[in-house]
Structure 1
Amino acid sequence: MSDGLSISLKMLLIGAVIFGLLVVLMLVLLCCDVCNRSQGQKRPFFSLLNHYLTRRAAGVLSLLQRRRLELSTKKILQVQQDALLYSIRRNRNTQYGELFRFSEITDRETFRRLHPLTQYDHYKESIERIGKGEENVLISERPRYLSRTSGTSGSSTTLLSTRKTANDFHQAFGVVFNSMLNVYPRTGNLQRTAMFYYLPNWSNSESGIPIGPNFPFPLTSKLNLNMYSTPGAGFEIATEPEAMYIHLLFALKDRHLGALEASFASTVYHSFAFLQNKWEQLIEDIWLGQINPKLKITDDVRMKLRAHLKPDPRRASELAAEFGSGFRGIARRVWPHLNLVLTVDSGSNELYGRHLKHFYCVGVPVYSPVYAATEGLIGVNLWPEKEERHYLLWPLSIFFEFIPVDLCSEGQPQTLFLDEVKENELYELIVTNTSGLYRYRMGDIVKVVGFHNQCPVVEFKCRRGQFLNVRGEKITEGAFYRTLLRAVSLWPGAMLLDYCCAESGLLGPFCGSSDPHYEVFVEIKGVRNLSEDQRYKLDQCLQEDSERYQSFRRKGSLGPVRVHIVAAGSFKELTDFIMANLGTSYSQFNMHRILRNKEFLDFIQRKVIS
């Protein structure tokens, strides 16, 4: 019996030794993998380990989220039916649900028959009541936020945002992370990301509901701050110039930076423009290991940030040499290991994305990850490597309907369901979400460019109503942008930095011409002035690109385009002015390419220099 016990003890001891060796081997492999992925960074090991484990966990979670999305696209009818009925059943006992007989809705056909197509005026009074504290009006829960739209139609509106909306964004960025790793595997290394994030301007409704952007917080917490170049205190800065300075300061300190991230390409572009003006101050701070004394931040934030700095003359000298060589391709020169720029560069941000790819970030891939709006998450880009910005519709939460573009002018046109749309056709998007919007005409015009399994893949084309349309010519924002680029290419030495336009009718009696026409404001680089012949090139290009415009010009119904050059930095000032007036923030702002607001037009007119 003692022999048997002895053998058991020996076996147990051998097993413990083997287990211990395996644990040691795993730890050694883990340490080797961490060191290999660190790309030679001089960071504390536990900081790298935290980053490593966070990335690993995110990778596993993102794979599960990708599989869930893939599965949903293979049974699209059931998934869409579930998304619709979830919203209907959840809110059927609200005042709105009782008014529109939600208890009778059992499928999409009944829903389409019982509920009309809607626009914002349909909800305005109900949202105001919710803001004052009334409950059970549109949705059964208290909204998490009241979310402002970006106001591209001329005025900002307010919608409801629920916890489900935030969850959708988190799931979508899981899918984005998976797509990113598949195409750009080096993004899995332990390099930090420079996130250009700015605190939104918060206010509260009468009942204390926060009013701000739909997705206000960065994906940062105490657990994953090691993934970002800016210390946590940097995300507490409330003013945009100071926050931008701090983001750039800590990004420049990190030679091994792996990615740049922001909600929109405009934010990244303006950060580089800011860098171009402030690089000498930033280098001085890096050399001395200080926070610029003139920077208007609180003493508490300054002290927290100062703890992450020490003098680095070597890095400062390296940066000075690169900046002294000019700013073309500067991103890859100051960050040799930069793998990716993660930012939305479709729609009104296309011009900023173009500047990044062809000037500041030459050679660095730009991935436009999501198609989102205040109404919720619309789509996700599964193809980071493609130049075209195509988005798979997100079928899990929003119930989609579509209006063929030639029926958009009708009040209650017949809609198509998600499984009824056709490739290469244009549609207006209709959404029903969990935040109290039902058959809502959000105003986006999209083109169905294909299908992923059974789910449509779309390309954003324009906003409904965002046309230059004096006489019925209907030149879309996208079409005008392409024509403007062609005209600028005919101005020797000129580079288009930014632009907007307006119909002359918005000027009233001060339009300066008896014939209605387009007023175009451009910020350009490389030339100080344009001749009248050069300015007229834009009108000629518009006539070549649009037969209807050409017809009205020949009839004399439209006057020639008037082109104005504005001072450098004017569009950044216009951005700040619009946001201050509409109460929006950088996390959701899109430049207004076609101005509909007289105040905004007056502002940019005051910046004209030629």
Structure 2
Amino acid sequence: MPTIDEELDRKSHLYSLIMPVMNQFLPNLQNGKGMYFLFVKSESKTPSGLPARPVLTSYYKSRHFARARAANDPYTNYTSPTETILCNDTHQSMYSQLLCGLVLRHEVLRVGAVFASGFIRAIKFFENNWTSLCKDVRNGTVDHRIVTDPVVRLAVSRVLVGPNPGLADFLERECRRDDTSSSPSWRGIIPRVWSNCKYIDVIVTGAMSQYIPAIDHYGGGSLPLVCSMYASSECYFGLNLNPLCNPDEVLYTLVPTMAYFEFLPVDRFVEKEIKLVDLVDVKLGQEYELVVTTYAGLYRYRVGDVLRVGGFKNKAPQFTFVCRKNVVLSIDSDKTDEVELQTAVTRAAVQHLAPLGASLVEYTSYAETSNVPGHYVLFWEIDNGVMIERSSSTVSESCLAVEEGLNSVYRQGRVWDSSIGPLEIRVVESGTFDAIMDHAVTELGASINQYKTPRCVKRGPIFEMLNSRVVSSHFSPRLPKWAP
């Protein structure tokens, strides 16, 4: 997406509005810090030599971010030193940010990450590495085997100050609390360790809603989940003026100086006759596809988000996020639409099944997020499955072929920061998708003439039916190709 320097001024302005809004509901947040897990990703250059990088990486490396941190801006008053955020090694960055957050735990009034998936990964990382973290807290050191970057080590050392055996003892007690139970659990670990924390700031709308149960688990059900702002790579849009509302009641108020906003009514969309609606003309209860014209050069660009007008703040319309148009799978910042998935699956089947005299009868997909990192699951019904079972590597290579056919954001998540796990194909027995259609027709009242196999499923009867008929499971054997 094209951007210009002054666009960062607008984004910084929007960030500066978040704390005043939050202070209306939770006063004195400026008296503490935020423990946010923020990371940069890889950069590249266009053929003409322009830098190309993720929008947040661009912001974290900008003078705007550095200036805000130097000025002790309340929004960017984080426990993480800037050096730990800018560390290119995700493992070192995560460890360092957690270590600083633990040492400064009494100052932490809010915790979060950009996406819910990233926050879950951070807490899971804590769960898997707490013994090393406690050792460093006790000794006042930074494990040189984990954090090898000297710049990061120096920045973290300034936070540690010295040994803290009392804090280490406390952390060990909390981390071991459930070890003797029949089902060890870290339920409520966030308020137990960061006892002054008032809320969890993460995006849990849209595809990220699948992580709400996991966040509630770690938050003990006592901390509100706050979706503070609405933004995308193309443009930053607006704020949630009622941040303590339930996640399914979030309404965003667009800031009209961020871009020129127009709206495409989704129920009246005709390809040959597009009638766009201005911000002041949207109707309560109507759903629209968001269209933006940005200062950086996008003209009437269809973002792909479907919004519903849920109310008004004075005369300003407020929108609830309905869905990302055509997106079927998402684990982290990746977004895979139906056409892209279809193309990747078809190509993999042609490459690996056809040479063995087999073919793909039908398929669907599922975003598996019960483990960290989450991963894509494809349910495949294969004609001549017996032949395929004789060569298990065929399906594993098919997994890799599908991954190779997905977009660069997905492959970056697999290769760069391991935010997405290996793709899995679960082969189901013959007749499975016929049984699913029968269920849809007889139990759900679907028309047999209009029935279409869902390309993505969620937990429920259809998912359980698919899982009950799995005959084998296969994972991608190696990382897909990706280069910055």
TM-score normalised by the chain length of structure 2:
0.69
The structure richer in strand per residue is: 2
Aligned residue type for 2:195: P
Aligned equivalent of 1:26: none
Question: Structure 1 pair 373/566, CA: closer, same or farther in 2 (3 Å)?
Answer: farther
Aligned equivalent of 2:276: 415
1:185 to 27, 34, 37: 27
Question: Structure 1 pair 408/239, CA: closer, same or farther in 2 (3 Å)?
Answer: farther
Aligned equivalent of 1:15: none
CA contact (8 A) 1:501 1:520 kept: no
Aligned equivalent of 1:247: 97
Aligned equivalent of 1:328: 187
State how far apart, in whole Å, the 2-side matches of 1:240 and 1:546 are.
47
1:162 corresponds to 2:4: yes
Unaligned runs of 5+ in 1: 1-158, 468-476, 482-497, 584-610
Post-superposition Cα deviations, 1:248-297, rounded to whole Å, max 9, x if no partner, equal: 01111123121113222221111001111111111111111111121143
1:399 to 250, 260, 283: 260
Aligned equivalent of 1:221: 69
State how far apart, in whole Å, the 2-side matches of 1:406 and 1:545 are.
29
Aligned residue type for 1:224: N
1:343 to 193, 202, 224: 202
Aligned residue type for 1:229: T
Aligned equivalent of 2:126: 275
Question: Structure 1 pair 454/557, CA: closer, same or farther in 2 (3 Å)?
Answer: closer
> In structure 2, the residue corresponding to 1:258 is in which secondary structure?
strand
Aligned equivalent of 2:365: 519
Shift of 1:417: 1.7
1:291 to 136, 142, 149: 142
Question: Structure 1 pair 450/353, CA: closer, same or farther in 2 (3 Å)?
Answer: same
Matches within 5 A, 1:65-464: 159-188=1-30, 190-215=31-56, 216-218=58-60, 219=65, 220-224=68-72, 227-256=77-106, 257-309=108-160, 310-325=162-177, 326-360=185-219, 362-387=221-246, 388-408=249-269, 410-464=271-325
CA contact (8 A) 2:441 2:447 kept: no
Aligned equivalent of 1:551: 447
State how far apart, in whole Å, the 2-side matches of 1:524 and 1:545 are.
31
State how far apart, in whole Å, the 2-side matches of 1:243 and 1:558 are.
39
Shift of 1:371: 0.9
Alignment RMSD:
4.0
Shift of 1:306: 2.4
State how far apart, in whole Å, the 1-side matches of 2:44 and 2:36 are.
24
Matches within 5 A, 1:459-478: 459-466=320-327
CA contact (8 A) 1:500 1:520 kept: no
Count of matched residue positions in the alignment of Structure 1 and Structure 2 = 384
Post-superposition Cα deviations, 1:526-585, rounded to whole Å, max 9, x if no partner, equal: xxx9x99xx99x95999399968x334997978976447999xx99x99xx78x8485xx
CA contact (8 A) 1:504 1:519 kept: no
Shift of 1:448: 1.1
Shift of 1:522: 2.7
> In structure 1, the residue corresponding to 2:119 is in which secondary structure?
helix
Identity %: 24
State how far apart, in whole Å, the 2-side matches of 1:427 and 1:339 are.
34
State how far apart, in whole Å, the 2-side matches of 1:217 and 1:459 are.
26
State how far apart, in whole Å, the 2-side matches of 1:408 and 1:292 are.
58
> In structure 2, the residue corresponding to 1:447 is in which secondary structure?
strand
State how far apart, in whole Å, the 1-side matches of 2:307 and 2:79 are.
36
Post-superposition Cα deviations, 1:22-63, rounded to whole Å, max 9, x if no partner, equal: xxxxxxxxxxxxxxxxxxxxxxxxxxxxxxxxxxxxxxxxxx
Aligned equivalent of 1:150: none
Aligned residue type for 1:195: Y
Unaligned runs of 5+ in 2: 178-184, 372-425, 456-461
The structure richer in helix per residue is: 1
Larger radius of gyration: 1
Aligned equivalent of 2:378: none
CA contact (8 A) 2:437 2:453 kept: no
CA contact (8 A) 1:237 1:297 kept: no
